[in-house]
Amino acid sequence: MVNQQDIQKFRKEIDRIDDEILRLLNERSKSVIEIGKLKKESDSNANLHTPGREAEIVNRLMAQNQGPFPNDAIRPVYREIMSASLSLEGPQKVAYFGPAATFTHLACIKKFGASAQYVPVNSIKDVFDEVERGRANFGVVPIENSTEGVVNYTLDMFVDSTLLIYGEVLLEVSHNLLSKTGRLEDITKIYSHPQPIAQCRHWLETNLPQVPVSEVTSTARAAEICATDPTVAAIASELAAQLYGLKIIKARIEDNVHNFTRFLVLSKKAPERTGKDKTSVMISVKDKVGALYDLLRPFASHGLNMTKIESRPSRRKAWEYIFFVDVEGHIEEEPVKKALEEIKGRCLFMKILGSYPAHN
């Protein structure tokens, strides 16, 4: 038999602790507001969001956590605390390739929390434009998917843009089959964005081989269609189901369970060095034998780990290519600095896209 008296005693203790947490959160907020004022006095255009400091706080707390509160829960809890705190310092506007409930929207929330102001725009180009014109503090764009590969349009935008990469977000992408009724037998047509369709191809062919699948501009648009037609389904996120009042027919229908998308955070300003950083550069090489080898050799000779290389046509001259390279380390660190100095003398041009905190 449940002892209600003991339960009530523990609930009173929880209430007391919650009251104390609330008091401390308000004390913390007062200090945050003062820091915001000092930042603005020093630089009126300063980024209030400092990823290095956030990582420092979370890593310190995780290191000293003795439980039973789970370590994995510390990051999302403090992400929301810091998001709410930043909103007290000033509005944090984040532009993203919309509409709402897309995976880019989810990546934004994972990075900046629920208290930021999110501005959905119609294209990746519009994300760059919003940040360049100062209408948003940050922008978030997809750069690559572990199944479908790189997002070429994002790479191409960096050729002429003055923006810097401020951070990255790695998001596990989970696709769900959604509908108004939640019944598989009601479905006569399925809508989604081309990438989720490709990532769920085997599941669709196995489970719904006779149901036609149509492409739309986004997973959110697919969910919007479903909200008004009980005979159609959408492949979209759980957030889309919540926003559009849909039911999940089948969760996690992606063919590859290890399906991740990497997103980049854009800003006019560079973030602070954190000690666990990544540098991205754009390089155009001379058209000659061994050009690619000459490009890569300085990274190896200076002991640097290159995590990505991607080539794109330069669009300026036939058979001339631009290489996008990610390397571990910060531009202020000597090995990175020396390697890039060597490469600069061997290439047609080089553009440093930013040194920023690696995904944590």
In the numeric block, which tokens belong to residue 209? 């081989």
In a domain, 28, yes or no: no
* pLDDT score for 196: 92
pLDDT tens string 326-344: 999 999 999 999 999 998 8
* pLDDT score for 42: 77
Pairing verdict, β 189-192 and 149-150: unpaired
Q: What is the CATH number of the domain that holds 182?
A: 3.40.190.10
Candidates 50, 102, 154, 261; catalytic one? 261
Following CA atoms 339, 340, 341, 343 in sequence, which dihedral angle do they give, to the nearest 10 degrees?
A: 90
* pLDDT score for 104: 92
Which H/E stretch holds residue 277? strand 277-285
* pLDDT score for 315: 66
Count Cβ neighbours within 10 Å for each residue of 322-339 and write b for 16 or more, e otherwise.
Answer: bbbbbbbbbbebebbeeb
Same domain, 230 and 288: no
Same domain, 245 and 286: no
* pLDDT score for 6: 83
Residue 263 bears catalytic tag: yes
Spell out the residues 6+ positions from residue 183 whose beta carbon is closer than 8 angstroms to its own. 249
Following CA atoms 6, 9, 10, 16 in sequence, which dihedral angle do they give, to the nearest 10 degrees?
A: 180
pLDDT tens string 59-112: 899 999 998 999 989 988 998 998 888 888 777 899 998 888 888 999 999 999
In a domain, 237, yes or no: yes
In whole angstroms, give the CA distance from residue 202 to residue 181: 24
In whole angstroms, give the CA distance from residue 148 to residue 198: 8
Question: Using omega within 30 degrees of 0 as the cis cutoff, is the peptide bond preceding 99 cis?
Answer: yes
In a domain, 210, yes or no: yes
Which 3 state secondary structure label does DSSP give 107?
helix
In the numeric block, which tokens belong to residue 208? 């719904």
* Identity of the amino acid at 210: Q
Which 3 state secondary structure label does DSSP give 193?
coil
* pLDDT score for 4: 81
Same domain, 188 and 246: yes
Pairing verdict, β 138-145 and 149-150: antiparallel
**Boundary residue ending a domain (235, 250, 265):** 250
Q: Which domain holds residue 202?
A: 176-250
- Whether the CB-CB separation of 248 and 226 falls below 8 Å is answered with no
In a domain, 212, yes or no: yes
* pLDDT score for 225: 94
In a domain, 193, yes or no: yes
- Whether the CB-CB separation of 329 and 247 falls below 8 Å is answered with no
- Whether the CB-CB separation of 246 and 227 falls below 8 Å is answered with yes
Same domain, 228 and 294: no
- Whether the CB-CB separation of 234 and 226 falls below 8 Å is answered with yes
Candidates 112, 263, 299, 323; catalytic one? 263
Q: What are phi and psi of 31, to 5 degrees?
A: -70, -40
Domain count, the chain: 2
Same domain, 215 and 286: no
* pLDDT score for 163: 96
* pLDDT score for 346: 79
In a domain, 353, yes or no: yes
Which 3 state secondary structure label does DSSP give 296?
helix
Residue 260 bears catalytic tag: no
Q: What is the CATH number of the domain that holds 309?
A: 3.30.70.260
In a domain, 338, yes or no: yes
Going from the first residue of the chain to its last (360 residues), give the mean pLDDT of each consecutive group of 10, the final group possibly shorter.
82 94 93 84 73 85 92 90 83 88 91 91 94 94 85 88 94 93 95 92 95 93 93 94 94 90 94 91 79 84 92 70 91 94 85 90
